Chains A and B, each alone.
Chain A
């Protein structure tokens, strides 16, 4: 049984339907990528999963349904969503951001230990522990958002276009870290990307979303070498 199983997922905004019935699954410990152009419905998919949008169909994590749950309950079930545009708490310090990420946890000593650990994994966070998140650069905020999401010890990490607005070098560094975290801690990741070179590099499997439906899927390496995919999503 895969960690996340989704069948017939439909979602939209008011009268406008965006997702027309998605079927996919995410095996535990894997990194899975969702590709798609603007407006295909990638963000909608993540928001439907994390409880930010009402959705119909079926979605189960560890066999338990998550559709219809409010966002904070979904988080309690072990799904952490790093939203598009980072979504850091800019008025709060770096440490407070991380503490907020651990809001649902009760083990204060372990939380402190985790904060130290992530400040090591992302040294720049350690350097700016007491600074307000709003003073960090885009790349630093992205790392903070990822660390914050990981603070809740999630079963599944959702990332919405983590490379958006970041310089290529910074993006490369970010994805290397993600791969390391997946390798060492086994954290399952579902990454949504538009321009997806680096994402496909670290992923195991990939889906292509077009106009609210899964158009293509397969092992990441295969899709990376597929001509159509390369032209449409990899820029060459």
Chain B
């Protein structure tokens, strides 16, 4: 441990710098949390991982682009429309693409989602080209669109984009919580997640619950795609590639079947991504993705249920 101190970056400890990193980390973390939510919501009821979630989000973001940049709708009209469309698409995917092959094997579902990844990724590029477009701006994102907390130098400012991202995430979390914990639909969903057979026996329409899970997941994913576009300032067909991996890392850390875990995991991953490269000089920022992999590996090897997940014993 003492040896590590030799590699610590000195400027890390300047308050403004540190706070800026934390803010950025939490801002990205909010997006990772949203993506982790999409992973968990589907996993809870179906036990599947949707590897195509990122590409579906990218596609949705492009549709928003078309509606706003080309058809000139206001983004706050386009966004809800696209969210609803995404939810319908997600439900349809579950019913017609995933459910028929579910009975074959787990591997078959993995392959279908991988195929979907390939298809959507390439299709996005075929339809809209490979040149990046300017990022979507649900929130004002200019250089001066921020709240300056510390004048600096170095400056510590919180962008409106970051504030908006948090607001959206908080809104999503509240909406999901209310839906799952206070409504009958949510009770049905959680029952299916707990024990699918028993849920059938008490009359819960399991098919509809599975579709609901995918619909929620895809809807949240499309919101995530738009937020990523704002945060990165760009929009291209590889937008969500690495974001999804961070989402998986967050879901693993929090526990694949824990909604609370997805939020906490996402924020931690975001913070780690922001802080670690700047704390230790030998960790370059391009290695963030490797950090995500290390997190996934470490969690699965040491404590597979993550921080908040339920432990299921399957050992031979």
- Chain B residues with CB under 8 A of A40: none
Partner of A104, one of B190, B194, B203: B203
B310 lies within 8 A of chain A by Cβ:
yes
B71 lies within 8 A of chain A by Cβ:
no
B227 lies within 8 A of chain A by Cβ:
no
B195 lies within 8 A of chain A by Cβ:
yes
A29 CB, nearest partner CB in chain B, Å: 22
Contact indicator A92/B202 (Cβ below 8 Å):
no
- Chain A residues with CB under 8 A of B198: 83, 87-89
Interface residues in B176-206 (C-beta closer than 8 Å to A)? 184, 187-188, 190-191, 193-195, 197-206
- Chain A residues with CB under 8 A of B206: 72
Q: With contacts A52-B197, A52-B200, A72-B203 known, is A100 near B310, CB below 8 A?
A: no
30 contacts between A and B (CB under 8 A): A52-B201, A71-B201, A71-B203, A72-B203, A72-B205, A72-B206, A75-B203, A76-B203, A80-B201, A80-B202, A81-B201, A83-B197, A83-B198, A87-B195, A87-B198, A89-B190, A89-B194, A89-B199, A90-B194, A96-B191, A100-B188, A100-B202, A103-B184, A103-B188, A103-B202, A103-B204, A104-B202, A148-B202, A149-B202, A152-B202
Contact indicator A91/B190 (Cβ below 8 Å):
yes
Q: How many A-B residue pairs have CB under 8 A?
A: 73
- Chain B residues with CB under 8 A of A99: 187
Interface flags, A56-86, vs B, CB<8A=1, else 0: 0000000000000011100110001101000
A53 CB, nearest partner CB in chain B, Å: 11
Interface flags, B188-226, vs A, CB<8A=1, else 0: 101101110111111111100000000000000000000
User: Bound state CA distance, A96 and B187, in angstroms?
Assistant: 8
Contact indicator A92/B194 (Cβ below 8 Å):
yes
Residue among A71, A88, A152 facing the most chain B CB atoms (10 A cut-off):
A71
Contact indicator A152/B194 (Cβ below 8 Å):
no
Interface flags, B119-162, vs A, CB<8A=1, else 0: 00000000000000000000000000000000000000000000
**Interface of B (DSSP majority class):** helix
Interface residues in A192-213 (C-beta closer than 8 Å to B)? none
Contact indicator B194/A71 (Cβ below 8 Å):
no
A101 lies within 8 A of chain B by Cβ:
yes
User: Bound state CA distance, A75 and B195, in angstroms?
Assistant: 16
- Chain B residues with CB under 8 A of A148: 202
Instruction: Determine the residue in chain A with the shortest Cβ distance to B200.
Output: A71
User: Bound state CA distance, A123 and B211, in angstroms?
Assistant: 38
Q: How many residues of A contact B (CB 8 A)?
A: 27
A188 lies within 8 A of chain B by Cβ:
no
Q: With contacts A91-B310, A96-B187 known, is A103 near B203, CB below 8 A?
A: yes
Partner of B200, one of A72, A90, A92, A96: A72
- Chain B residues with CB under 8 A of A72: 200, 203-206
User: Bound state CA distance, A81 and B198, in angstroms?
Assistant: 9
A33 CB, nearest partner CB in chain B, Å: 20
- Chain A residues with CB under 8 A of B193: 91
Partner of A92, one of B190, B203, B204: B190
A50 lies within 8 A of chain B by Cβ:
yes
Contact indicator A87/B201 (Cβ below 8 Å):
yes
Interface residues in B16-72 (C-beta closer than 8 Å to A)? none
B255 CB, nearest partner CB in chain A, Å: 12
- Chain A residues with CB under 8 A of B187: 92, 96, 99-100, 103
Instruction: Determine the residue in chain B with the shortest Cβ distance to A148.
Output: B202
Interface residues in B251-300 (C-beta closer than 8 Å to A)? none
Report the 10 A-B pairs with minimum CB-CB distance, sorted nearest first: A75-B203, A71-B200, A89-B194, A87-B198, A104-B203, A72-B203, A100-B191, A91-B194, A81-B201, A101-B202
User: Bound state CA distance, A79 and B56, in angstroms?
Assistant: 41
- Chain B residues with CB under 8 A of A91: 190, 193-194, 310
B196 CB, nearest partner CB in chain A, Å: 10
Interface residues in A41-55 (C-beta closer than 8 Å to B)? 50-52
Known: A87-B201, A91-B194, A100-B199. 16 other contacts (CB 8 A): A71-B201, A71-B203, A72-B205, A76-B203, A81-B201, A83-B201, A87-B198, A88-B198, A89-B195, A90-B195, A91-B193, A100-B191, A100-B202, A100-B204, A103-B191, A148-B202
